[in-house]
Structure 1
Amino acid sequence: MPKPFTPKVVTANALLEGDVIYQTATGWTRNLAEAEVLTDEADADLRMIDALTQADLVVGVYLADVTPSETGPRPTHFREEFRAKGPSNYAHGKQESL
């Protein structure tokens, strides 16, 4: 029996900058809270197809599990939580403002 579909976001890395990015209804964002949460498997498949056609902008496209919340989607796996925080080797990018 197939596993039930759980909420997901489309994520990738920006081709030129390497930043972690998330698909929105109208494009891409570097902020997970702005990502489009997909709750239907067919919609997720269509959004993945759309993302994969943007090879001039993104690399490494995949679906990441999330839990919807009032402040936007929250990662369900430590890898995605780590990616959402940005580079960890020194203060720059997303962590620079902390």
Structure 2
Amino acid sequence: MKVCQLKYIDSMQFMNSSLASLTKNLGNNYPITTEYFKKQSYSSEQISLAYHKGIFPHEYIDSHDQFKETELPLIHEFHSILEDDQDQDQAIYKNGDA
């Protein structure tokens, strides 16, 4: 699917597993990156979230104008009918400044 100059692709088409599964396997394999984030004053929770699949309000986006918004949508807009991981969604939303 293409919206303006953004092209959305399904990562399952060219990866051997889902993006969520692949990011769960990252663990602490990136000590240099983790140290960099620590020096930038990111919290341990923010660093941990950086190694997970992000969230995107798919059902919320229904026009090109929404890509120009400069603030996060309301938290309930991030709920997906495809996935139900509200704990992870809320943690990422609360750390949206990361």
- TM-score normalized by structure 1? 0.28
- TM-score normalized by structure 2? 0.28
Q: Of Structure 1 and Structure 2, which has the larger fraction of its residues in strand?
A: 1
Report which structure shows greater RCO (CA 8 Å, sep ≥6).
1
Report the structure number with the largest CA radius of gyration: 2
Q: Of Structure 1 and Structure 2, which has the larger fraction of its residues in helix?
A: 2
